[in-house]
A and B are shown apart, each in its own frame.
Chain A
Amino acid sequence: MSHAQTLEGYNFAYLDEQTKRMIRWAILKAIAVPGYQVPFGSREMPLPYGWGTGGIQVTASIIGQDDTLKVIDQGADDTTNAVSIRHFFARTTGVKTTERTESATLIQTRHRIPERPLQEGQVLVYQVPIPEPLRWLEPRETETRKMHALAEYGVMHVKLYEDIARFGRIATSYAYPVMVNGRYLMSPSPIPKFDNPKMDNMPALQLFGAGREKRIYAIPPYTKVESLDFDDHPFEVQKWDDCCALCGAQDSYLDEVIIDDAGGRMFVCSDTDYCEDRRAQGHYGPLGQAAE
């Protein structure tokens, strides 16, 4: 997008410079203490809390003129939240945007990690609603802060154990708690647990922003990220009997889509870029072929 199409009267990337400096310090300290939630002075943004204000503030503080931005919402580039955030940054910065995972230097995501493995030098920014993994177990911030200070995480294991006692398995399927670098218990944000293994030793830098809860945290590249489990109930990810109806992928995270009022349904890749890329390479699923 050319400079002429950017908004007049706003600073580059919307935020004022002092706010950016404050967020930049929070990011540096978050990288230095992987998995620890750094409090920051979250600003009011031109869209409501819950729409990714934390992720937007992190992106606005790190984005530069040479960046290429990709924004996804549940894996898709073309859903409301992704389109509006991409448009916001296109207008306030004038940077290039892309839907291709491998072309992006900066990816802001809501609730997914792209299927294509990320590379060193890329930055993945997560939008986080509830940064505190212990919040539903201990509502008091004063207490959860102490629990993190003392690495006192037994209560989370009890919660997972209660899942097993009640359902016979760990029933948590998203926002599945992880241990970062063997020290901090961290919420990976509401990504499906399918994506948890991708966080481990990822070559890209991962940053997390929670606007309403005013927290920033990070996982540096090449950092150990383990999903909590038990020896006799090891961590497992979701599996599907079907493949993607459009591209035939058997290794991607699938969304179920209702296609008529007679109970018809299809499973499609949640990562639209991955799905399109596969179809461009000539891979077709049962419905993709018929549609062509």
Chain B
Amino acid sequence: MNGKTAFDQPLTGFESPVHDAQRVFHGVMEAMSHPGKIVVLSDLPEAPEPLNRASAAICLSLVDFETPLWADAAVAASSQAMNHLKFHCGCPVTSAPKEARTALVSDASMLTSFDRFNIGSDERPDLSTTVIIQVARLSNEGGVQLSGPGIKTVNGLSVEGIGASFWDALKANAQLFPRGVDLILTSDDAIACLPRTTQVEV
């Protein structure tokens, strides 16, 4: 085959780019300011495999030509997913995670540390990578105990589909403060954020 097949083509983006982008951002801001709180983003457009709807919508809402994107092997291998992101976001795609402002991880079980990403510097901690991680399921029943800014007392968060060393990696990330990555966990249309300030008790 030469040229692109229908399977390569980007899917439809936001129905109303201005208001849908605001709505998705507002959900991310709410989740980031209440770490561990599960926020459901409603009315999201379909996403190309292997992206879930929340991950794709967050990219459509926030990623653009100023924020280089890194995607893990499974996403990068999907020409439709990459075409979708490039078409709607117009973002540069980088193969170096340290250069990425946003990273997409579709298989969280492979994550053993966040060392490969940019953690920012003491003088510019804001330049660190924001890592969007797709997980199988998010729930506030049981799981690990979260505390820190944005959490009244403690917040329980249980995450399915992550590797055994995920929480250790997150603890190591929190140790770097004010440097460190910030995580957005996504599952279908639900998200939960783990900024670098969040302390984890397994």
Interface residues of A (CB under 8 A from B): 11-12, 17-18, 20-22, 24-34, 36, 38-39, 62-65, 121, 145-146, 148-150, 181, 183-184, 203, 205, 218-224
B29, A146: Cβ atoms closer than 8 Å = no
CB closest chain-B residue, reference A32: B195
Residues of chain B with a CB closer than 8 A to A39's CB:
126
B182, A29: Cβ atoms closer than 8 Å = yes
Q: Which 6 A-B pairs have the closest CB atoms?
A: A149-B122, A32-B195, A29-B126, A220-B150, A223-B149, A220-B149
30 contacts between A and B (CB under 8 A): A20-B21, A21-B21, A21-B61, A21-B67, A24-B62, A26-B126, A28-B182, A29-B128, A31-B33, A31-B150, A32-B32, A33-B125, A33-B126, A36-B125, A63-B22, A65-B19, A145-B123, A146-B123, A149-B121, A181-B197, A184-B178, A203-B152, A205-B29, A220-B34, A220-B197, A221-B34, A222-B150, A222-B151, A223-B149, A223-B150
A30, B126: Cβ atoms closer than 8 Å = yes
- Given the known interface contacts A21-B62, A29-B182, A31-B33, the answer about A222 and B149 at a Cβ–Cβ threshold of 8 Å is yes
CB closest chain-A residue, reference B147: A222
Interface size on B, residues (CB 8 A): 38
Binary interface profile of B, 182-202, with partner A (CB < 8 Å = 1, else 0)? Answer: 100000000000011100000
Distance A128 CA – B28 CA, assembled complex (angstroms): 24
A34, B149: Cβ atoms closer than 8 Å = yes
Residues of chain A with a CB closer than 8 A to B30's CB:
121
B101 located at the interface, meaning its Cβ lies under 8 Å from any Cβ of chain A in the complex: yes
Distance A11 CA – B18 CA, assembled complex (angstroms): 8
B17 located at the interface, meaning its Cβ lies under 8 Å from any Cβ of chain A in the complex: yes
B28, A28: Cβ atoms closer than 8 Å = yes
Interface residues of B (CB under 8 A from A): 17-19, 21-23, 25-26, 28-30, 32-34, 61-64, 66-67, 101, 121-123, 125-126, 128, 130, 149-152, 177-178, 182, 195-197
B23, A183: Cβ atoms closer than 8 Å = no
CB closest chain-A residue, reference B198: A32
Residues of chain A with a CB closer than 8 A to B17's CB:
17
Which of A24, A32, A65, A221 has the most chain B CB within a 10 Å cutoff? A32
Smallest distance from the beta carbon of B196 to chain A beta carbons, Å? 6
Contact of A32 among B64, B101, B152, B197 (CB under 8 A): B197
Distance A131 CA – B193 CA, assembled complex (angstroms): 27
- Given the known interface contacts A33-B196, A221-B150, A222-B152, the answer about A205 and B33 at a Cβ–Cβ threshold of 8 Å is yes
Smallest distance from the beta carbon of B60 to chain A beta carbons, Å? 10
Distance A224 CA – B28 CA, assembled complex (angstroms): 22
Residues of chain A with a CB closer than 8 A to B33's CB:
31, 205, 218, 220-221
A12, B29: Cβ atoms closer than 8 Å = no
Apart from A22-B66, A33-B126, A220-B34: 6 A-B pairs, beta carbons within 8 A = A24-B29, A24-B61, A36-B126, A121-B30, A145-B123, A150-B122
Smallest distance from the beta carbon of A200 to chain B beta carbons, Å? 12
B149, A181: Cβ atoms closer than 8 Å = yes
- Given the known interface contacts A24-B25, A24-B62, A222-B149, the answer about A33 and B122 at a Cβ–Cβ threshold of 8 Å is no
Which of B25, B62, B64, B67 has the most chain A CB within a 10 Å cutoff? B25
B123, A27: Cβ atoms closer than 8 Å = no
- Given the known interface contacts A29-B126, A31-B33, A149-B123, the answer about A21 and B64 at a Cβ–Cβ threshold of 8 Å is yes
Contact of A28 among B22, B130, B152 (CB under 8 A): B130
B149, A62: Cβ atoms closer than 8 Å = no
Which of A24, A65, A218, A219 has the most chain B CB within a 10 Å cutoff? A24
CB closest chain-B residue, reference A22: B66
CB closest chain-B residue, reference A148: B123
Smallest distance from the beta carbon of A223 to chain B beta carbons, Å? 4
Distance A18 CA – B66 CA, assembled complex (angstroms): 9
Distance A205 CA – B28 CA, assembled complex (angstroms): 13
Distance A224 CA – B30 CA, assembled complex (angstroms): 19
Residues of chain A with a CB closer than 8 A to B178's CB:
33, 36, 149, 183-184
Residues of chain B with a CB closer than 8 A to A184's CB:
178
Smallest distance from the beta carbon of A136 to chain B beta carbons, Å? 21
CB closest chain-B residue, reference A205: B33
Residues of chain B with a CB closer than 8 A to A17's CB:
17-18, 21
Which of B18, B22, B64, B182 has the most chain A CB within a 10 Å cutoff? B22
